[in-house]
Amino acid sequence: MNAKHTVLVTRRLPQAVEERLQRDYDARLNTRDELYSSAQILQLAAGADAIIPCHTEHLSAEIIASLPDSVRAICSFSVGYDHIDLAAARSRGIIVTNTPDVLSSATAEIAMLLMLGAARRAHEGARMLRTNTWADWSAIGQLGIEVTGKRLGIIGMGRVGQVMARRARGFDMQIHYYNRHRLSPEIEQGASYHADLNDLLPHCQFLSIHCPATPETHHLLNAERIARLPDDAVVVNTARGAVVDDDALIAALQSGKLFAAGLDVFNGEPDIDPRYRDLDNTFLLPHIGSATRETRDAMGFRALDNLDAIVAGQEPRDRLV
């Protein structure tokens, strides 16, 4: 009987995923769900055939260059891959995969929650009830912005962006989008395409960001682009924190240029810019876009499907390099 391939798993994964790992592999599990240092990753990877990291592990060029020769694959438990140096992996001949598709609906749900929560000042209302400071009903109190029938701009009309557009149509929103390529009419479904991001922004009473974090999208939403948005616009980000310039967004929220922001991702998370916490017009969540039981199981199974293909000498479904 052939020996099982050894897999380093850097974080605690859902029970069903870990059970499959232990059944099919010699799995080195992180039972305490601690954040491994770079030194720990290199130590624990000794003799491993593959690594299953999450977005919390930053596999830099230096770390990948130092991985043992036994490592053939990095099958990330994430759709984003900005935490992995793909060029370094390619130079080592290490296959890298991610887990697209399976978290699109869950992430779009959180984007809708953020949009509604920010527009309707849900954070302030919840705080009144929890601190027993709700004095009385008021005809002019707690006034938010209605979502129904408004214009929604989407940056990045990939899997999540397309689901977000479908959900928003349930609120009779008019969809505008910026994408690297125009979608086909059957996918576009009447949405207005803008080949230039700067042309999109003036139309966006609401703006939802769904593009990946890359060197090209770093601080994509900066002061100049925020200035192009209509006054009282609402910004939603479920992509990556690096896409937003914190100084510019916070300044626009403080000045009243923007009505509110709904954020699930941040620069430097979990050590977010503390100024966000001091703003009443922010609706903040701790990176839970994919945090449903169904989605996290599906992400783990997708990562394992990719790993199964690699060890069998087949092409994995979600190969990045």
Which residues are designated catalytic? 240, 269, 287
The torsion angle over the Cα atoms of residues 120, 289, 82 and 275, rounded to 10 degrees, is 40
Which amino acid is it at 116?
L
Sheet with strand 95-97: strands edge to edge: 26-28, 6-9, 50-52, 73-75, 95-97
Helix (H) or strand (E) holding 241: none
Q: Which residue has the tokens 């009443």?
A: 280
Segments in 95-231 forming alpha helices (H): 104-119, 122-130, 159-169, 185-188, 197-200, 223-228
Using CA atoms, how far apart are residues 176 and 51, in angstroms rounded to an integer?
39
**Stated length of the chain:** 321
Distances (CA, A) of 65 to 69, 71, 97: 10, 11, 18
Q: Which residue has the tokens 């039972």?
A: 31
Q: Other CB atoms closer than 10 Å to residue 20's CB: what's the count?
A: 18
The torsion angle over the Cα atoms of residues 185, 202, 215 and 315, rounded to 10 degrees, is -20
Strands (E), the chain: 6-9, 26-28, 50-52, 73-75, 95-97, 151-155, 174-178, 192-194, 206-209, 233-237, 258-263, 282-284
